[in-house]
A and B are shown apart, each in its own frame.
Chain A
Amino acid sequence: QKEVEQDPGPLSVPEGAIVSLNCTYSNSAFQYFMWYRQYSRKGPELLMYTYSSGNKEDGRFTAQVDKSSKYISLFIRDSQPSDSATYLCATKTSYDKVIFGPGTSLSVIP
């Protein structure tokens, strides 16, 4: 079993839709959870960072972690064409390397 799993998509939504992106992870020792956005032919950039369970909101983006079910979500409200990218979830223990998921490709259609 891979440590972090994501549905690769592609996911295609109309502009303005609410997008839900999800990951599962296997190691209960993971405590820190991140979402990276990667545009085509670019390196990943950090979008959201959360610790332990709960929600974190930043503008149109909300990250949600449920440690009991080892489930990570990213919600995008009022999606825009500029949100079209691959979204990588990532996680880590306190002092260890970051483990990335394979990413979900998102297209927001005008």
Chain B
Amino acid sequence: DAMVIQNPRYQVTQFGKPVTLSCSQTLNHNVMYWYQQKSSQAPKLLFHYYDKDFNNEADTPDNFQSRRPNTSFCFLDIRSPGLGDAAMYLCATSRGAGAPQETQYFGPGTRLLVL
């Protein structure tokens, strides 16, 4: 019944050790988003894919990369995690990008801890 799935739910990594977070969807939506959410803060959009087209937010650090090998899967790669990258990472999907009535469906998130 799950529509947007994120794995793992909790990830512990070491300072500077690359880490990959995974998102998959069963909705066949065109758009997949990655957000970073720190405690008591708004989700912050990192980037999104419209189909295979990658759209990076201007203030997303180069340390964050993404891959979308097919419609169903999207990955967030953090090349050299710093302590400041500890956060909840949310994946979301929508049918279209930006159309007013488009609802974003969120996954449960992956909580990343950097030691």
Which residues of A line the B interface, CB within 8 A? 4, 8, 31-32, 41-46, 49, 51, 88, 92, 94-103, 105
Task: Tell me whether A51 and B100 are in contact (CB under 8 A).
Answer: yes
Q: Which residues of A contact B108 (CB under 8 A)?
A: 41-43
Stretch of B14-22, B39-47, B69-77 with 4 or more beta carbons under 8 angstroms from chain A = B39-47
Interface of B is mostly: loop
Which residues of B line the A interface, CB within 8 A? 4, 6, 9, 40-43, 45, 48, 57, 90-92, 97-101, 103-104, 106-109, 111
Q: Which residues of B contact A43 (CB under 8 A)?
A: 4, 6, 90-92, 106-109
If A8-B40, A100-B42, A101-B42 touch, whether A44 touches B106 (CB-CB below 8 Å) is yes
For the complex, what is the distance from the CA of A32 to the CA of B98, rounded to whole Å? Answer: 11
Task: Tell me whether A97 and B98 are in contact (CB under 8 A).
Answer: yes
Task: Tell me whether B101 and A95 are in contact (CB under 8 A).
Answer: no
CB distance from B89 to the nearest CB of A (A): 10
If A44-B90, A46-B104 touch, whether A97 touches B45 (CB-CB below 8 Å) is yes
